[in-house]
Amino acid sequence: MIDRSASDARPDAASGTGRPAPASAGIFDPGLLDRCISCGFCLPVCPTYRLTGQETSSPRGRITLMRALESGRLADGDPTLAEEASFCLGCRACETVCPAGVRYGELLEQWRDHQWRGRRRPLLARLLMAVVSRPALLGLQRLVRRYATGKAGRRAVPGGADRPASLMLGCVERGLYPEVSRAVLELRPELAVPGGQGCCGALHAHNGDSAAGRELARKLGERLDGTIVTTAGGCAAHLAHHLGRDRVAELSEYLERTGYRPAGEVRVNGRRARVALQDSCHLRNALGVTRPPRELIAAVADYVELPNAGDCCGAAGTYSLLRPADSRAVLRPKLEAIEAADVDYVVALNPGCLRQLRQGLRRARSRAKAIHLAELLVMAARAANRSTPR
């Protein structure tokens, strides 16, 4: 109920920030910001709240901070605003448990647009954004020369997909893990690989330049015909948001949709391999895709569900570079779960997660190896080919 005395009590609570100004700063879409009812259901699933136990690093607390920024209650240069906008992983786990339907990911983009505008963006993020805007720097040309068909969907896709499909090469994959795209083409040689692919813009949207993020997504959508197939859950979610859900398929979705039947099996030391999965946050939390990758793994190996498979691994795009200590702290329980599960492989669905897990497992001297889903399936298919002489 409404108690008028509550507002009377404010002046003696000398916070120095004053009353919320009735005017709005126009930083946030007010409809989005109004949605949160502060029930707190998001707290237990937030990785940064789990780290600190402090309200300000929970989704509910951050929305309160956004509201304070919007109303002018907190000053533009407030250090807590700056810290929390950066500390958030942007994993969007909070959205999956929010019954009020708060679209936190969009709010975070709007927040960082404001918070990191111009020169206030972390230098490293600025550098990365500049690099991915120049595909030539990414070693793209080699890969394209080898695989590019230039036109999409000339060959029929087995399983009856009646629309053309193009493989998106991704800026991180093509720089760090070109073998992932090669593996996809070994599984699905019919995929077109048009040249001149730019960045999808997820990097920009997550680092305070959502306008560029939108524009890059639009351009890539023009460049790639038909269904855009991606090996990065984060890119899939970003593209789906801007181009429409039906334009985009993450690899496991695409394989399922086109009736891919995994061949063979992955064996280690004469037995079927034990394989766990690391969900891609945006694939799981934004697009709700969790079943197809698990089923694909279970078809070629003994699938082991990690108790925290759905929790962020701490890679979170540029986060592992911008906040390495926090990133490792978020990863720690994941590594412990992997050790406890005694698995041979951990499958990632996103190049950032792949990098994070590889580094973490190496540092922990784990026997488990991190690989991309495409690589696991190719490993199984090759084993099948070897055992069935033509």
For residue 377, give the nearest of 257, 290, 261 by alpha carbon. Answer: 261
Judged by CB under 8 A, the stretch of 12-20, 173-181, 257-265, 333-341 that binds other proteins is 12-20
CB 116 within 8 A of CB 125: yes
Among 27, 50, 51, 64, indicate the residue that binds other proteins (CB under 8 A): 64
CB 288 within 8 A of CB 236: no
Single-letter amino acid code for the residue at 37: I
- Which residue in the block uniquely carries the two structure tokens 């500049």? 130
Backbone angles phi, psi at 367, to 5 degrees: -85, -15
Instruction: Check residue 12 for interaction with other proteins (CB under 8 A).
Output: yes
Which residues sit opposite 229 in a β-bridge? 167, 249
Instruction: Check residue 245 for interaction with other proteins (CB under 8 A).
Output: no
What is the DSSP pairing of strand 271-272 with strand 274-278? unpaired
Residue 194, classed as helix, strand or coil, is: coil
Instruction: Check residue 29 for interaction with other proteins (CB under 8 A).
Output: no
- Rg of the chain (C-alpha set): 22
Among 29, 34, 76, 336, indicate the residue that binds other proteins (CB under 8 A): 34
Rounded alpha-carbon distances, angstroms, from residue 127 to 123, 133, 175, 223, 356: 6, 10, 15, 24, 20
Which residues sit opposite 274 in a β-bridge? 302
Among 21, 25, 29, 39, indicate the residue that binds other proteins (CB under 8 A): 39
Instruction: Check residue 37 for interaction with other proteins (CB under 8 A).
Output: yes
Among 25, 44, 259, 340, indicate the residue that binds other proteins (CB under 8 A): 44
Judged by CB under 8 A, the stretch of 2-10, 195-203, 218-226, 286-294 that binds other proteins is 2-10
Comparison of 7 and 385: residue with beta carbon closer to other proteins: 7
Among 47, 48, 59, 74, indicate the residue that binds other proteins (CB under 8 A): 74
Residue 146, classed as helix, strand or coil, is: helix
Helix, strand, coil percentages, rounded to 5, for the chain: 55, 10, 40
Among 23, 48, 72, 81, indicate the residue that binds other proteins (CB under 8 A): 81
Instruction: Check residue 1 for interaction with other proteins (CB under 8 A).
Output: yes
Instruction: Check residue 78 for interaction with other proteins (CB under 8 A).
Output: yes
Instruction: Check residue 79 for interaction with other proteins (CB under 8 A).
Output: yes
Q: What is the DSSP letter of 155?
A: S
Among 48, 59, 84, 205, indicate the residue that binds other proteins (CB under 8 A): 84
- How deeply is 18 buried, as exposed, middle or buried, from its count of CB atoms within 10 A (0-12, 13-18, 19+)? exposed
Instruction: Check residue 308 for interaction with other proteins (CB under 8 A).
Output: no
Residues 94-133 close enough to bind other proteins by CB under 8 A = 97-101
Comparison of 59 and 178: residue with beta carbon closer to other proteins: 59
Instruction: Check residue 288 for interaction with other proteins (CB under 8 A).
Output: no
Task: Report how many residues bind other proteins under the rule CB under 8 A.
Answer: 45
Among 56, 96, 133, 359, indicate the residue that binds other proteins (CB under 8 A): 56
Comparison of 84 and 375: residue with beta carbon closer to other proteins: 84
For residue 302, give the nearest of 336, 268, 260 by alpha carbon. Answer: 268
Q: For residue 123, how far is the Cα from the chain centroid?
A: 21
Q: For residues 59 and 69, give the distance between their C-alpha atoms in angstroms, rounded to a whole number.
A: 15
Instruction: Check residue 165 for interaction with other proteins (CB under 8 A).
Output: no
The CB-of-305 to other proteins minimum distance in angstroms stands at: 16
Which positions lie near other proteins, rule CB under 8 A? 1-3, 5-7, 9-10, 12-17, 34-35, 37-41, 43-44, 53-56, 60-61, 64-65, 68, 73-75, 78-81, 84, 97-101
